[in-house]
Amino acid sequence: MSAPPAFDVQLARLIEARGVDAGSLARRAEVAETAVTSVLGGGEPEPLLLRRLAPALGLHRSDLFIIADRPVPDDLTLQDPAEAAALIWDARRLTADQLRQVYDRAHAIRHERADELEPALRCGCPGPA
Protein backbone atom coordinates (compact mmCIF):
# COMPACT_ATOMS: atom_id res chain seq x y z
CA MET A 1 0.00 0.00 0.00
CA SER A 2 1.46 3.35 -1.00
CA ALA A 3 1.68 6.36 1.26
CA PRO A 4 -0.92 9.10 0.84
CA PRO A 5 0.12 12.18 -1.12
CA ALA A 6 1.98 14.91 0.76
CA PHE A 7 -0.17 17.49 2.53
CA ASP A 8 0.52 20.18 -0.06
CA VAL A 9 -0.94 17.92 -2.76
CA GLN A 10 -3.95 17.01 -0.62
CA LEU A 11 -4.56 20.66 0.28
CA ALA A 12 -4.42 21.65 -3.39
CA ARG A 13 -6.98 18.94 -4.17
CA LEU A 14 -9.27 20.14 -1.37
CA ILE A 15 -9.01 23.72 -2.60
CA GLU A 16 -9.86 22.63 -6.13
CA ALA A 17 -12.76 20.45 -4.95
CA ARG A 18 -14.19 23.39 -3.02
CA GLY A 19 -13.91 25.65 -6.05
CA VAL A 20 -11.75 28.28 -4.38
CA ASP A 21 -8.23 29.56 -4.81
CA ALA A 22 -5.49 30.13 -2.23
CA GLY A 23 -6.39 33.81 -1.82
CA SER A 24 -10.09 33.26 -1.18
CA LEU A 25 -9.34 30.36 1.15
CA ALA A 26 -6.95 32.57 3.10
CA ARG A 27 -9.60 35.30 3.38
CA ARG A 28 -12.24 32.80 4.54
CA ALA A 29 -9.84 31.36 7.10
CA GLU A 30 -8.68 34.85 8.14
CA VAL A 31 -5.02 34.02 7.58
CA ALA A 32 -2.33 35.56 5.40
CA GLU A 33 -2.35 34.30 1.83
CA THR A 34 1.40 33.71 2.18
CA ALA A 35 0.66 31.15 4.92
CA VAL A 36 -1.53 29.17 2.53
CA THR A 37 0.84 29.47 -0.43
CA SER A 38 3.76 28.43 1.78
CA VAL A 39 1.99 25.20 2.70
CA LEU A 40 0.97 24.66 -0.93
CA GLY A 41 4.66 24.98 -1.75
CA GLY A 42 5.56 22.18 0.66
CA GLY A 43 5.93 24.13 3.92
CA GLU A 44 4.87 22.61 7.22
CA PRO A 45 1.47 23.86 8.40
CA GLU A 46 1.33 25.40 11.84
CA PRO A 47 -1.39 24.06 14.18
CA LEU A 48 -3.20 27.42 14.26
CA LEU A 49 -3.28 27.47 10.46
CA LEU A 50 -4.80 23.97 10.38
CA ARG A 51 -7.43 25.05 12.92
CA ARG A 52 -8.40 28.02 10.76
CA LEU A 53 -8.28 26.27 7.38
CA ALA A 54 -10.43 23.29 8.39
CA PRO A 55 -13.78 25.10 8.73
CA ALA A 56 -12.95 27.21 5.67
CA LEU A 57 -12.64 23.92 3.76
CA GLY A 58 -15.81 22.48 5.33
CA LEU A 59 -13.86 19.97 7.44
CA HIS A 60 -13.61 19.21 11.12
CA ARG A 61 -10.42 20.56 12.61
CA SER A 62 -9.28 17.13 13.78
CA ASP A 63 -9.72 15.76 10.24
CA LEU A 64 -7.35 18.33 8.78
CA PHE A 65 -4.71 17.49 11.41
CA ILE A 66 -4.99 13.84 10.37
CA ILE A 67 -4.78 14.70 6.67
CA ALA A 68 -1.67 16.79 7.43
CA ASP A 69 -0.18 13.84 9.37
CA ARG A 70 0.11 16.02 12.47
CA PRO A 71 -0.81 15.03 16.04
CA VAL A 72 -4.41 15.91 16.83
CA PRO A 73 -4.49 18.33 19.79
CA ASP A 74 -6.10 17.01 22.96
CA ASP A 75 -8.95 19.49 22.79
CA LEU A 76 -10.01 18.02 19.43
CA THR A 77 -10.11 14.38 20.57
CA LEU A 78 -12.16 12.28 22.95
CA GLN A 79 -10.67 12.82 26.37
CA ASP A 80 -11.54 9.40 27.77
CA PRO A 81 -10.38 6.34 25.79
CA ALA A 82 -13.00 4.30 27.65
CA GLU A 83 -15.64 6.58 26.13
CA ALA A 84 -14.48 5.70 22.62
CA ALA A 85 -14.33 2.01 23.49
CA ALA A 86 -17.87 2.14 24.86
CA LEU A 87 -19.12 3.75 21.66
CA ILE A 88 -17.50 1.04 19.56
CA TRP A 89 -18.81 -1.70 21.87
CA ASP A 90 -22.35 -0.33 21.68
CA ALA A 91 -22.19 0.18 17.91
CA ARG A 92 -21.45 -3.48 17.28
CA ARG A 93 -24.93 -4.35 18.52
CA LEU A 94 -26.68 -2.11 15.99
CA THR A 95 -28.34 -3.40 12.86
CA ALA A 96 -27.18 -2.11 9.48
CA ASP A 97 -30.24 0.16 9.36
CA GLN A 98 -29.49 1.54 12.82
CA LEU A 99 -25.86 2.15 11.89
CA ARG A 100 -27.02 4.04 8.77
CA GLN A 101 -29.28 6.20 10.97
CA VAL A 102 -26.36 6.98 13.31
CA TYR A 103 -24.14 7.82 10.34
CA ASP A 104 -26.82 10.03 8.76
CA ARG A 105 -27.36 11.91 12.04
CA ALA A 106 -23.61 12.37 12.59
CA HIS A 107 -23.30 13.66 9.02
CA ALA A 108 -26.16 16.11 9.61
CA ILE A 109 -24.56 17.34 12.85
CA ARG A 110 -21.27 17.85 11.03
CA HIS A 111 -22.98 20.09 8.49
CA GLU A 112 -24.98 21.91 11.17
CA ARG A 113 -21.72 22.68 13.01
CA ALA A 114 -20.08 23.84 9.78
CA ASP A 115 -23.07 26.11 9.19
CA GLU A 116 -22.68 27.61 12.65
CA LEU A 117 -18.97 28.21 12.12
CA GLU A 118 -19.16 29.82 8.70
CA PRO A 119 -22.43 29.65 6.75
CA ALA A 120 -20.83 30.75 3.49
CA LEU A 121 -18.34 27.88 3.56
CA ARG A 122 -20.74 24.96 3.44
CA CYS A 123 -20.46 23.50 -0.02
CA GLY A 124 -22.20 20.17 0.56
CA CYS A 125 -19.02 18.40 -0.53
CA PRO A 126 -18.03 15.26 1.30
CA GLY A 127 -14.74 15.23 3.15
CA PRO A 128 -11.76 13.28 1.86
CA ALA A 129 -12.34 9.59 1.34
What's the pLDDT at 44? 94
The number of CA neighbours under 13 Å toward the Cβ of 33 is 6
Confidence of residue 124 (pLDDT cuts 50, 70, 90): very low
Q: What would you measure as the largest C-alpha separation in the chain, in angstroms?
A: 49
Per domain, the residue ranges of the chain are 7-121
Share above pLDDT 70 across residues of the chain, in percent, rounded to a whole number: 73
pLDDT in tens, 15-65: 999 999 999 999 999 999 999 999 999 999 999 999 999 999 988 888 898
Q: Which helix (H) or strand (E) holds 109?
A: helix 96-117
Average pLDDT over residues 68-95: 76
Q: Is the dihedral of CA 11, 12, 17, 23 positive or negative?
A: positive
Confidence of residue 127 (pLDDT cuts 50, 70, 90): very low
> Average pLDDT of the chain?
79
Share above pLDDT 90 across residues of the chain, in percent, rounded to a whole number: 41
What's the pLDDT at 4? 77
Residue 96 has pLDDT above 90, yes or no: no
Please answer whether residues 57 and 14 qualify as being in contact, where contact means their C-beta atoms are separated by less than 8 angstroms.
Answer: yes
Q: Please give the CATH topology (third level) of the domain spanning 7-121.
A: 434 Repressor (Amino-terminal Domain) (1.10.260)
What's the pLDDT at 109? 61
